[in-house]
Amino acid sequence: MFKINENYLKLPGSYLFSDIGKKVKEFTEANPDKKIIRLGIGDVTLPLVPAVIEALHKATDDMAVKETFKGYAPDLGYEFLRSAIGENDFKKRGVDIAVDEIFISDGAKSDSGNIGDIFDADNKIAVCDPVYPVYVDTNAMEGRAGNYLPEQGKWSNVIYMPCTKETNFAPELPKEEPDIIYLCFPNNPTGAAINKTELQKWVDYANKTGAVIIYDGAYEAYISEEDVPHSIYECDGAKTCAIEIRSFSKNAGFTGTRLGFTVIPKELKCGGVMLNSLWARRHGTKFNGAPYIIQAAGAAVYTEEGKRQTKEQIAYYMKNAKVIREGLTAAGYNVSGGVNAPYIWLETPKDMTSWQFFDYLLKEANVVGTPGSGFGPGGEGYFRLTAFGTYENTLEAIERIKKL
């Protein structure tokens, strides 16, 4: 008689975005004349840039002819893409990452979920609170999170590191020593970034305590400040303690095109075993590579044209971020984020919970955002707005909020 993975039954329902959808639907039906502006989504809205489109067409043509047709891709990904990544994302920032330390995948979500495969169930994880839910949920599925405590909105065996205004939206070194530390900077959902000195503390801590850091750098392209590291490997010693996960979703609009990569330096070992080898084995056994066409599109992001065009898109989104940040500040809100990330994190006005503010904003300004409490108890009393709307809508939304 077969047995299921009972850990799945411990997972609470994942209703954040469906609850938002329901509320918006109800409001729209009751108020068909109101124009709703959605600044809640974490999805990009601008189309793929011309350089990427051109590469997709070209790679498609390659697949149409026997001479250039591509079957199974190399396990780690095509070298043309891994070389471009190594050169642009690392070497140009003074970091030396070899092509066989880069693993191409179908995206950062898959990688940040699947990376748990190479670790024992008996590891204690630490996460920021609020946090991108995938880290915790996937560890819960693998039996690492203990039990869910509904009244606290937390898991019994997870170390939560509060990231609130009291901590300046950065985690503090935990009192209890974790085995695996998830860090995401620039951060989803708070939009906060940390500088190199702060990140170096985490690297030193991990090396000292024998922890591994899983560093999610999906929002790296939005960094605008000089002292914010683009890769954890800019820190000394990171190669012996950190895995970095990167994405093409937010820098090049690949949310529906699916491409990402994970870096595991060969220096990262446990008892002499390279984690690079374990991940290579997982990659080769449970994955068959990202599509050739999509890898070719990814390489186009690193061409001169591609870099210029994707930079323009990011500038467009960050212009929205500025509108939101400055507008809300002018309206008297306490606002953070939006400088090195497309997310703006605001404190809800006095006595309002995240959901109360959601309802208030929907009703009074017809603007949709995301309640901070949806990202964990540390998000209660906060609210996320995103820069992925159109400029015109973003302007209008902020004008409406200002008038409240």
Q: Which residues, numbered 160-189, are part of the site for its own copies (CB under 8 A)?
A: 179-180
| Nearest to 335, CA basis, from 320, 346, 321, 324 | 346
Shortest reach from residue 63's CB to its own copies, in Å: 5
Which two three-digit tokens encode residue 230?
């683009």
79 contacts 101 by C-beta, under 8 angstroms: no
Query: Would you say 249 or 366 has its CB closer to its own copies?
Result: 249
Would the annotation count 258 as a binding residue?
yes
Q: Which of 32, 33, 71, 175 binds its own copies (CB under 8 A)?
A: 71
Binding range to its own copies, per CB under 8 A, among 49-57, 301-309, 337-345, 371-379: 49-57
Shortest reach from residue 81's CB to its own copies, in Å: 14
Q: What's the alpha-carbon Rg for the chain, to the nearest Å?
A: 21
Strands (E), 159-286: 159-162, 180-184, 212-216, 242-247, 260-263, 269-270, 273-274
For residue 346, list its beta bridge partners: 335, 383
According to the binding rule CB under 8 A, does residue 50 interact with its own copies?
yes
Contacts of 135 (CB under 8 A, 6+ apart): 112, 125, 127, 182, 214
Shortest reach from residue 158's CB to its own copies, in Å: 15
Q: Which of 76, 104, 109, 373 binds its own copies (CB under 8 A)?
A: 109
Query: Would you say 4 or 30 has its CB closer to its own copies?
Result: 4
Binding range to its own copies, per CB under 8 A, among 59-67, 89-97, 193-201, 334-342: 59-67
Would the annotation count 246 as a binding residue?
no
Query: Would you say 257 or 348 has its CB closer to its own copies?
Result: 257
| Nearest to 230, CA basis, from 47, 112, 92 | 92
Which two three-digit tokens encode residue 5?
């993975």
Q: Which of 88, 195, 209, 393 binds its own copies (CB under 8 A)?
A: 209
Shortest reach from residue 86's CB to its own copies, in Å: 22
Q: Is 8 exposed, middle or buried (0-12, 13-18, 19+ CB in 10 A)?
A: exposed
- In whole angstroms, what is the distance from residue 377 CA to residue 152 CA? 7
Query: Would you say 8 or 80 has its CB closer to its own copies?
Result: 8
For residue 242, list its beta bridge partners: 213
Binding range to its own copies, per CB under 8 A, among 161-169, 218-226, 291-299, 313-321: 291-299
According to the binding rule CB under 8 A, does residue 16 interact with its own copies?
no
Q: Which of 35, 57, 92, 266 binds its own copies (CB under 8 A)?
A: 57
Which 345-374 residues touch its own copies, going by CB under 8 A? Answer: none
Q: At which residue do the structure tokens 């703006």 appear?
A: 344
Q: Which of 175, 286, 350, 403 binds its own copies (CB under 8 A)?
A: 286
Would the annotation count 14 as a binding residue?
no
- In whole angstroms, what is the distance from residue 48 CA to residue 62 CA? 20
CA 374 to chain centre: 15
Strands (E), 248-342: 260-263, 269-270, 273-274, 335-337
Query: Would you say 11 or 99 has its CB closer to its own copies?
Result: 11
Question: Which residues sit in the known binding site for pyridoxal 5'-phosphate?
Answer: 72, 108-109, 132, 188, 219, 247-249, 258, 288
Residue numbers in the known binding site are 15, 42, 72, 108-109, 132, 188, 219, 247-249, 258, 288, 384
